Structure 1
Amino acid sequence: MRNGWSPFNIVSVTVGFAFLYLPIVLLVIYSFNASRLVTVWGGFSVKWYGELIHDQAILDAAWVTLRVGLISASAATVLGTLAATALVRFANFRGRLLFSGMVYAPLVMPDVIMGLSLLLLFVAVDFDRGFWTVVLAHITFSMCFVGVVVQSRLISFDRSLEEAAQDLGCPPWKTFFQITLPVIWPAVAAGWMLAFTLSLDDLVIASFTSGPGATTLPMKIYSQVRLGVTPEINAVCTILIAIVSCGVTVAAIFTRRREVQRARDERLAAGGGSPAQAR
């Protein structure tokens, strides 16, 4: 058949997507179930979303998770970008192998090992576990993911742009913020979104490093699921799915518009026009 879409390929893709997304679809459907029994359909209802407004424990956990995600993703983006810049731009400094190993170790280290090691560290330095220990833990394991994304963009970056700016008298730090950062900004933004998503999803490391008043939403959901799945949990998970889906959609639209604008500018440049005329 044309384009390689044989019956086997079609069936494989269908089964694969069904395996990945059918449980999510069922979760969303049963979040609108009027019955408290999650396996028995009792009609359409949104009352469980209303119940979430009065569930202070869920709201507190969601607020902690949001704050942890925003702070840790922002800090991890800054540190990961700096680490990627050092690894790409200063390839021959002493200790580079050790530095790169320390930066990327969380990529292959099990979450249980990382959570336990961070717990022992906080206990050794007598740092009370709570909100900030969770933030530090999330910065530690998400920074490496930002570094990988930004490093892949810096490798293909045209260094002649920076050299031209510095030849014209632009200082190195100003060159980075006015030339380099705008070019690699999509990779930096992608790294931030990845770090934020990983922070929202983390359960194991947060369980080791959290303390009183620092219960995250995954921890709260897990503690309730151990006693049985309730419609409120389905509603919370549906809201999270909607937030992530909206974020991915907005990012895809933004990326698509940038690609269209870049292609338009390239066509104008090839034809002798200026990008300003296209805008």
Structure 2
Amino acid sequence: MPGKRPWLGWAVLAAGFAFLYLPILLLMVYSFNESRLATVWTGFSTKWYGELLRDRQLLQAAWISLKVAFWTASAAVVLGTMAALAMVRFGRFRGRTGFGALVTAPLVMPEVILGLSTLLLLVSMGGLFGLPSKGLVAIWIAHVTFTLAYVTVVVSSRLQELDRSLEEAAMDLGANRIKTFFQITLPIIAPALVAGWLLAFTLSLDDVVIASFLSGPSSTTLPIKIFASVRLGVSPKINALATIMVLAVSLIAVIGWWLMARSEKRRAREVQQALKDNG
């Protein structure tokens, strides 16, 4: 019986977490390895962090990836929220099924197809609109295209659970639709927007396949740089860079969670106070 063996569930949970996070922990530990071999421990040292700071090409690739990921996530959140509003709030309009299929198609489409099709599109349209076929702008366009679908799904699920009576009450009190959206709807779906932004940021930062089609000589992203360097062996500098990125992303996630939790508590107190005042 499952109730008589609770340790089995905890053991399975521990094994799952170990499978997910133990490799990351080992990578962080070996970033302090003195040896040049990334998998042979010879002693504690921080010299590879100094080597990382002196590797301008690797740092430049990391900066390019961060810039592309930031602007990709920001654009995907704006466009994804608009697409989610159209699918959830506009009811049954002509072409809704096709619109939903086009928005969510990148979820199931191979990245090779997305990268190649974006490259062919930009090459064919380059002479017409002046868009570059390769470079940061090309990578940004392609990343927005495939991360938009993930943001739309996340925001749509939150909008479907939203209590419409709150918006109707605001409009009954004299607020127009724009004011209601920014003061009622937007704060309520803010956790979904943050989750979509972080998801789009991570997907863009991690992409190799699409960026390999669209990157140019001065727009090599970090995953492509790492993928090219590991062919000659994994350098401890890569471990050091990965450790810094893991710590930075973890810190951002914790700060975002804390801000959202504080906002939810403040909003709950405001609702309780309003109920007391009306009662």
Q: Give the alignment's TM-score, normalised by structure 1.
A: 0.90
Question: Which residue is equivalent to 2:113?
Answer: 113
Alignment partners' CA distance in 2, 1:215 and 1:3:
54
Question: Which residue is equivalent to 2:61?
Answer: 61
Give the unaligned 5+ runs of structure 1: 275-279
Whether 1:247 and 2:213 are equivalent positions in the alignment is no
Kindly, what percent of the aligned residue pairs are identical?
Answer: 56
CA shift for structure 1 position 255 = 3.5
Whether 1:198 and 2:203 are equivalent positions in the alignment is yes
Aligned pairs for 1:131-210 (under 5 A) are: 131-210=136-215
Question: Which residue is equivalent to 1:104?
Answer: 104
Aligned pairs for 1:26-41 (under 5 A) are: 26-41=26-41
Change (3 A) 1:40 1:220: same
Question: Which residue is equivalent to 2:129?
Answer: none
Give the unaligned 5+ runs of structure 2: 127-131
Alignment partners' CA distance in 2, 1:14 and 1:173:
47
Moved more, 199-208 or 247-256: 247-256
Q: Is the 8 A contact 2:107 2:149 kept in 1?
A: yes
Whether 1:19 and 2:19 are equivalent positions in the alignment is yes
Alignment partners' CA distance in 2, 1:123 and 1:267:
57
SS of the residue 1:144 aligns to: helix
Change (3 A) 1:4 1:153: farther
Q: CA RMSD in A?
A: 2.1
CA shift for structure 1 position 186 = 1.6
Question: Which residue is equivalent to 2:90?
Answer: 90
- Residues 219-251 of structure 1 show CA distances to partners (whole Å, capped at 9, x for unaligned) of 111110111101101111111111121122223
Matched length: 273
CA shift for structure 1 position 163 = 2.5
Alignment partners' CA distance in 2, 1:118 and 1:93:
29
- Residues 153-189 of structure 1 show CA distances to partners (whole Å, capped at 9, x for unaligned) of 1112122232333334433223222222122112112
Q: Is the 8 A contact 2:32 2:44 kept in 1?
A: yes
> 1:221 is matched by which residue type in structure 2?
I
